[in-house]
Structure 1
Amino acid sequence: MDELPDGGYRLQHPGGERRIAAQPLASDTASVMFDGLFAVAQAELDEARVASITDGAFDSGQPIPCPCFETGEKWRYVWTRDVSYAIDLALARLDPQRARASLRFKLSETRAGTKGLYVAQDTGSGGSWPISSDRVVWFLAAQHLIDGNDDDSRRFAGEVWRALTDTLAQDRRYVFDEAMGLYRGETSFLDWREQSYPRWTANDVGFIAQSFALSTNVLQYRALRLAERLARERGDARAEQYAKQAQDLGATIERRFWREDRGLYMSYIGTAAHPVPFEAYDLLGLSLLVDSGIAPRERALRALSRYPALDSGSPVIWPQQPDTAIYHNRASWPFVSAYSLRAARATGHAPRIAHEIRALMRGAALAGSNMENFELTTQAVHVDDGALSGPVVNSPRQLWSVAGYLDMVIEGVFGVMPDGRIEPKLPVELVPVLFGDRETISLQLANRRITLRRPRELSGDLLVAKSMHTEGDSTAVQLVAARSADGTLASDAAAFAPASPEAPRVDADGAQWKIALPARTRLYVDGARQADAGEARTVEVPRGDVEQCFSLTRVDANGLESLHGPTRCTGDEITVAGEWPRRWIAPHDGRYAVRADFLNPHGPINTGITAAVKWLDVQCTGQPAQGGVLVMPHGQARQRSSAVTFRAAAGAECRFGLRDGFNMSYLSHNAHYTGGSGGQSGPLNAADVGALHVVALAPTPDTPSDTLAKDASKQTATLAENRTQ
């Protein structure tokens, strides 16, 4: 990198040479590379400012007017999660007007006769929401754009409040699982199933729709906290409701996702029927969790130390999955590294702060652009590995990568927080790179200048503010070396998990189930670890008269566990068919689950907006009205829907009625969708619903969430303390 006489830069990288003009913001450090790459990120942000956007699946690829940020050189549209993460990272402070326009593009009224303002979940797995359910990331971005005194800020604040209350209410009805105390759905951003979920989910996203993801639940928590804040500001009585929901959710996240044997938070866990732990971890979910204040400090530090890294970067998932092409698997993503940097700053984890700053610089310098992603071990934009070559897709100037680099400079190095506070936390090991022989480094923003002055003594490992002096629009910060929290970085980032086994064979033998365990497998029964097999053997499990679910994992010589194989559930099912409402007589007192056979061929398994969502009403003699959601994703063969649980007394007649729920095709936003069903031709929320199947469940307390609420109340003080750290 060379600095040019006109204030611009010339970057020579393995792919060629790039010249960057002088930019409106500037850093002044001992590293020309650092300063020049800050200019590169600004230039690429300017390229992302467009008057119209395009995507082949919307308006048949014709331009759609929108003074927005486009997602990348290869992604010319506005996607909910991409633009939201980018705005949260840096763009809210750098271009608030365009940020609001981009977010507004993802808000929608309905076109189905119902009222409401909702955030659009983009096209996705099995027909989009509620299989993918991370659209609430929109509020992570919107929270930064509602406190201004100008007319647009005030108008946007009203839109955010309306969309927040409507979207939260809809998600609570359709996505929240009362028994688990969590929101169902796919991991945020990790939405290419076979990259990070078991391979068998590539054509079976019903499991994903019913599982629980760390990142998506943390985003719901953040949305609830925003709703609590805005409700209090408005004197709205729902403030206490939102506060209680957030409190309970935070405590449940902490309890359900922590894996003590690894010292990490799991990326996702299994279904309510079989809530198995997974040897699957992702850096975005962990970083969002730590930054939210949910994780106790000791666990946050432990997890950031245990989550592995290489000199070339931090993997977005760990462990890596075998026989899977490079994309999310075997890759680092700059925007995730930027969130990891935030989490490290929140805890004072000096080694990870330094690591992520270096990785972001190195990646942009080697590629000559803020790329979508990099191969993990080389930080290359492409690696040849036969059928597994990749990254499979990789776009220059990816918006959230650009925003991640900008955030790294503004907040990560100079400590300028979104609210204007200055809180530098700069690792001492970066002093030679950034300061060299200089006494100061500085950052010129649009309306202020920040200067950091190094201390004479570097006896600690983290430079923090000792004192500040502000004169006009300039702030000088005297740094002091401090001792940070203890932290390390694990180095097994490229480790591969074993391949998943097949579903277990479960045979009845009198009062026992006999399950054959292949060598080096682990058996889970009803969500709990039951048995391990070093050598192949057969185990027996008591046979109940209720549904029991079984799955296997494979364990390698180092103790690393595979993702689960398919689940096999047993139980005496009763089939209920005929005209609606369908009738059934309960054979005994207890809890039951009901699922529907269905076929939803209205789109491919990997995209679309027509996941069928129906509401099953259950009315049993002697019980109040019950019911729940049947989610029926795309598929080319008949499947089983998600389950609705209910209670019935022996001999009670239960009537089942079916009515429409809601899916993304009902949004006016998707009248522009031309990539499949449910778009320009009108809303479509349909499936060929066949027989219902009812099975008895193990007894639980009348209100399963009571236990969760008790656990949550014990952690209230801890959560409050974490949020104020």
Structure 2
Amino acid sequence: MLTVALLATALATTPSIHADYLDWHSQRAAITANADGSYVLNGPAGERRIPASTATAQTASPLFDGLFAMAQDDLKRDSVTSIKDGAFDNDRPMPCHCFETGASWHYVWTRDLSYSVDLGLWRFDPARSRNGLEFKLSGVRDKNAPAGLYPMQDTGSGGSWPISTDRIVWFLGARHLLNDRAFADKTWQALNDTLAQDRRYIFDPAMGLYRGETSFLDWRQQTYPEWAASDVTFIGHSFALSTNVLHYDALRLAARLATQRHDPRAATYAAQAAALKQAINTHFWRADRGMYMSYIGGNGMPVEAYDLLGLSLAITSGVADEARARSSLTHYPAWPAGSPVIWPERADQPIYHNRAIWPFVSAYALRAARITQQPELIAHELHSLLRGAALAGSNMENFDLVTQSTHVDDGKLSGPVVDSKRQLWSVAGYLDMVSEGVFGLEDNGEVKPELPVSLVPLLFGTHGRISLKLPGRSITLVRPAALDGNLLVADRTTQDGQHTTVTLKAIHVASSPLRTDAPTYAPPTPAAPVVVRDGTHWQVHGDGVLYVNGHRHGTIHGQLALPWSPAQQCFNLTHVGKDGVASLPSPTICVGDTASISGTWPRTWTAPSTGRFRAWLDYSNHHGSIETGVTAAVKWLHVSCAGSAPQDTLLVMPHSVGQQASTPGSFTAQAGAHCTFALKQGFNMSDLAHFAHYTGAGGSAGPLNEADYDALHIVALPKDAATP
């Protein structure tokens, strides 16, 4: 457990990074440069000999230059001709001239590769980047499902998509490689097919947002309420900042490519992107915290959870305006070792996403800090990336938040629980820190340095210039005569063939000190409230802050009476600690006059009133572990009510622990209308041809999109309900 005393010690630690060595928590990592361009790194992880690299950094720091060479050596070791994973083809090698994910992971996953390519691997090895991305595209194998080309949502929570929904990140990487016409055509097809499918299956028009899990933060016990460990329908029905920002980026790409191709969908995509940007800012912005929330409930309930990747993507995508971008980074906490990937931390969870630094996320935070011109944060993330690689002797997947160690012994909370050397997106993050973070090389080829003056002693020393040499491109930064400011930016830029020279100038930008006073942990999640009908009232029992239908009602201590209504009312509690930080929400308790219909399909019901109704199924889905798989059952509830046009509403039934409720759908009906309900087949990841290689349910035996169904429940929604 991270104690107050340990935290105080960590906060008092001053980073000590020198030209050829660094000291940290009584550990030293030192590097020696050899005449042939190779290096020798000695540190806590032992000795590592680093061969001369193709791309070189020439600064006053052998440590900085040598770790750049080490990242390239890690990338070379990740460059393979075949990949394998126990869940596919029984661990037999599959030919793929691409990147594997790391020393411990010999496969290619959609999000890992896509973020890695976006962080610059497209520049270092475009062929492998394209090959890997193409490996993650798939057509449809089920003849009864609509044809299309889609990036795969890898095995994930409750049977994957549409609970886990960040496969759209594929386009974040693909956008850099469209100079290859064949790949560009595949990207264009996949983009149209995927956006259309996601619009139908996971977009909520009332909220204007896409549903599903947070991107990358896919160990739900670490970031979602603990009760979601055995019921992921909450996750599938909620909305995540990162996943919505990724959809915004994909819509903008679609608008741009449609314009280039004179496709009439350009205006539609642009309008959808603009509306999504507005919805993200409306629903995720937390004015009292000065940050965007990591996720919100399916009814819009705010959740006291924040994540650095989501915040950074909101900034780098342009979703956040200048004021909100700066505010988000200013209010997000920082530890001396680096920035945590989530905040607040969970006191009951081991180190992984919780209480951890992930270098690839730090690289995105560095990008965001450059956009907002925050030199303190730029230097902070750069130091964290450099220090982690030096101490571990490789670009590790993650580190403990306080010690920046790859393992902390803390009993059942020890960790990081899972880690790996030469993790691909960490390698990419380090390469991006050098090429863009220091030398200012942007995606469009322009050179726009945003270099903190505090880094001048490390990088320039007594020299007047530093250089970066890449295949086919080189950059020289020239130090200004005066350092009367806190940030170095371009003063004059000259171009000589493929070589760019930038003479820097010092400017003064508004100081945004790192936030070091944030409390560490959220309070424990409270038990669900108890709700009992008492005549014309609901008697609500509990202790904490009460939310009704996603809206804060007020504080409750003991018992509170609320007016009874036949329409559905849903209640949650949170606890607020002495430091003002709220817990994650309790389980949801919903009450109302509910009709339950069992029997064979089709099933019938008569509407008791005019309005909107919520529907859900009791079901069980035991086709795989709730942790993983590709067989979340996805069905359309087809509703035919007299006097109304037929309606389809989506019900998702992920892998379950026993019987539970599906995600809810909604429909409208007139009072007295006789309604008939039937189930129509939807789409899940097992329908994709690629998953014929999968060894679990929905794999080699064929697509599987079924569950065991029990009662269908129907209840009226309040007239002011915003979402299904």
Same fold (TM over 0.5): yes
Counterpart AA for 2:56: A
Query: In the alignment, does 2:583 pair up with 1:562?
Result: yes
The 8 Å contact of residues 613 and 662 in structure 1, kept in 2 or not, is answered as: yes
Aligned counterpart for 1:338 among listed residues 348, 363, 378:
363
The 5-angstrom pairing of residues 188-203 of structure 1 reads 188-203=215-230
Residue by residue over 1:348-392, the C-alpha shift from the partner in whole angstroms, topping out at 9 and shown as x without a partner, is 121111111111000001101100000000000000000010000
Q: 1:167 Cα shift? A: 0.7
Aligned counterpart for 2:636 among listed residues 597, 602, 615:
615
Query: In the alignment, does 2:456 pair up with 1:435?
Result: no
The list of structure 1 runs, each at least 4 consecutive aligned residues, that deviate by more than 3 angstroms after superposition, is none
Counterpart AA for 1:473: Q
Counterpart of 2:704?
A: 684
Q: How far apart in 1 are the matches of 2:165 and 2:311? A: 18
Counterpart of 2:172?
A: 140
Q: What is the SS of the residue equivalent to 2:268?
A: helix
Q: 1:270 Cα shift? A: 0.4
Aligned counterpart for 1:30 among listed residues 60, 78, 103:
60
Q: How far apart in 2 are the matches of 1:31 and 1:439? A: 13
Q: How far apart in 2 are the matches of 1:181 and 1:223? A: 15
Query: In the alignment, does 2:543 pair up with 1:527?
Result: no
Residue by residue over 1:701-720, the C-alpha shift from the partner in whole angstroms, topping out at 9 and shown as x without a partner, is 9x989xxxxxxxxxxxxxxx
Q: How far apart in 1 are the matches of 2:723 and 2:224? A: 28
Query: In the alignment, does 2:717 pair up with 1:697?
Result: yes
The 8 Å contact of residues 347 and 485 in structure 1, kept in 2 or not, is answered as: no
Q: How far apart in 1 are the matches of 2:197 and 2:686? A: 15
Query: In the alignment, does 2:323 pair up with 1:298?
Result: yes
Counterpart AA for 1:643: P
Q: 1:485 Cα shift? A: 4.0
The 8 Å contact of residues 298 and 723 in structure 2, kept in 1 or not, is answered as: no
Q: How far apart in 2 are the matches of 1:296 and 1:89? A: 22
Q: What is the SS of the residue equivalent to 1:284?
A: helix
The 5-angstrom pairing of residues 308-387 of structure 1 reads 308-387=333-412
Q: How far apart in 1 are the matches of 2:71 and 2:509? A: 30
Question: Compared with structure 1, are the counterparts of its residues 480 and 72 closer, same or farther at alpha carbon in structure 2 (3 Å cutoff)?
Answer: same
The 8 Å contact of residues 60 and 461 in structure 2, kept in 1 or not, is answered as: yes
Residue by residue over 1:531-579, the C-alpha shift from the partner in whole angstroms, topping out at 9 and shown as x without a partner, is 224xx43222222221000011111111111101101011110012233
Q: How far apart in 2 are the matches of 1:129 and 1:277? A: 23
Return 352-361 or 571-580, whichever deviates more.
571-580
Counterpart of 1:719?
A: none
The 8 Å contact of residues 549 and 569 in structure 1, kept in 2 or not, is answered as: yes
The 8 Å contact of residues 620 and 654 in structure 1, kept in 2 or not, is answered as: yes
Matched residue count: 692
Aligned counterpart for 1:104 among listed residues 134, 159, 176:
134
Counterpart of 1:590?
A: 611
Counterpart of 1:722?
A: none
Counterpart of 1:716?
A: none
The 8 Å contact of residues 119 and 163 in structure 1, kept in 2 or not, is answered as: yes
The 5-angstrom pairing of residues 514-553 of structure 1 reads 514-518=539-543, 521-533=544-556, 536-553=557-574
The 8 Å contact of residues 377 and 494 in structure 1, kept in 2 or not, is answered as: no
Counterpart AA for 2:333: P
Q: How far apart in 2 are the matches of 1:230 and 1:559? A: 46
Aligned counterpart for 1:235 among listed residues 235, 257, 262:
262
Give the TM-score normalised by the residue count of structure 2: 0.94
Q: 1:654 Cα shift? A: 1.3
Counterpart of 1:416?
A: 441
Q: What is the SS of the residue equivalent to 2:188?
A: helix
Q: How far apart in 2 are the matches of 1:192 and 1:312? A: 23
Residue by residue over 1:500-524, the C-alpha shift from the partner in whole angstroms, topping out at 9 and shown as x without a partner, is 0111011222222222233xx2111
The 5-angstrom pairing of residues 8-27 of structure 1 reads 8-27=38-57
The 5-angstrom pairing of residues 58-137 of structure 1 reads 58-113=88-143, 114-137=146-169
Q: How far apart in 2 are the matches of 1:634 and 1:509? A: 36
Q: How far apart in 1 are the matches of 2:563 and 2:451? A: 57
Return 487-496 or 256-265, whichever deviates more.
487-496
Q: What is the SS of the residue equivalent to 2:167?
A: coil
Q: How far apart in 1 are the matches of 2:292 and 2:517? A: 17
Q: 1:494 Cα shift? A: 6.5
The 8 Å contact of residues 231 and 657 in structure 2, kept in 1 or not, is answered as: no
Q: How far apart in 2 are the matches of 1:348 and 1:642? A: 43
Q: 1:692 Cα shift? A: 0.7
The 8 Å contact of residues 376 and 494 in structure 1, kept in 2 or not, is answered as: no
Query: In the alignment, does 2:498 pair up with 1:466?
Result: no
Q: 1:346 Cα shift? A: 1.2
Q: How far apart in 1 are the matches of 2:94 and 2:71? A: 26
Q: What is the SS of the residue equivalent to 2:48?
A: strand
Q: 1:486 Cα shift? A: 3.8
Q: How far apart in 1 are the matches of 2:75 and 2:519? A: 32
The 5-angstrom pairing of residues 246-285 of structure 1 reads 246-272=273-299, 275-285=300-310
Q: What is the SS of the residue equivalent to 2:166?
A: coil
Q: What is the SS of the residue equivalent to 1:665?
A: helix
Counterpart of 1:51?
A: 81
Counterpart AA for 2:638: D
The 8 Å contact of residues 314 and 493 in structure 1, kept in 2 or not, is answered as: no
The 8 Å contact of residues 330 and 494 in structure 1, kept in 2 or not, is answered as: no
Aligned counterpart for 1:171 among listed residues 198, 201, 217:
198
Identity among equivalent positions (%) equals 58
The 8 Å contact of residues 600 and 634 in structure 1, kept in 2 or not, is answered as: yes
The 8 Å contact of residues 306 and 488 in structure 1, kept in 2 or not, is answered as: no
Return 173-182 or 393-402, whichever deviates more.
173-182
Aligned counterpart for 2:651 among listed residues 623, 630, 635:
630
Query: In the alignment, does 2:207 pair up with 1:186?
Result: no
Q: What is the SS of the residue equivalent to 1:458?
A: coil
Q: How far apart in 2 are the matches of 1:162 and 1:469? A: 40
Q: How far apart in 2 are the matches of 1:200 and 1:247? A: 35
Q: 1:5 Cα shift? A: 1.9
Counterpart of 1:156?
A: 183
Aligned counterpart for 2:508 among listed residues 469, 474, 483:
483
Q: How far apart in 2 are the matches of 1:473 and 1:340? A: 29
Q: How far apart in 2 are the matches of 1:241 and 1:373? A: 40
Q: 1:484 Cα shift? A: 2.2
Residue by residue over 1:138-177, the C-alpha shift from the partner in whole angstroms, topping out at 9 and shown as x without a partner, is 000000000x2xxxx1000000000000011111111111
Query: In the alignment, does 2:685 pair up with 1:664?
Result: yes
Q: 1:700 Cα shift? A: 4.1
Q: 1:475 Cα shift? A: 1.6
Question: Compared with structure 1, are the counterparts of its residues 523 and 656 closer, same or farther at alpha carbon in structure 2 (3 Å cutoff)?
Answer: same
Residue by residue over 1:20-49, the C-alpha shift from the partner in whole angstroms, topping out at 9 and shown as x without a partner, is 011001001111110000000000000111
Q: What is the SS of the residue equivalent to 1:156?
A: helix
Q: How far apart in 2 are the matches of 1:512 and 1:415? A: 63
Residue by residue over 1:556-612, the C-alpha shift from the partner in whole angstroms, topping out at 9 and shown as x without a partner, is 111111101101011110012233222111011111011011111100010000000
The 8 Å contact of residues 592 and 696 in structure 1, kept in 2 or not, is answered as: yes
Structure 1: any 5+ residue segments left out of the alignment? Answer: 706-725
The 8 Å contact of residues 108 and 117 in structure 1, kept in 2 or not, is answered as: yes
Q: What is the SS of the residue equivalent to 1:136?
A: helix
Q: How far apart in 2 are the matches of 1:432 and 1:592? A: 66
Q: What is the SS of the residue equivalent to 2:334?
A: coil
Q: How far apart in 2 are the matches of 1:98 and 1:484? A: 40
Q: How far apart in 2 are the matches of 1:581 and 1:218? A: 39
Give the TM-score normalised by the residue count of structure 1: 0.94
Counterpart of 2:430?
A: 405
Counterpart of 1:723?
A: none
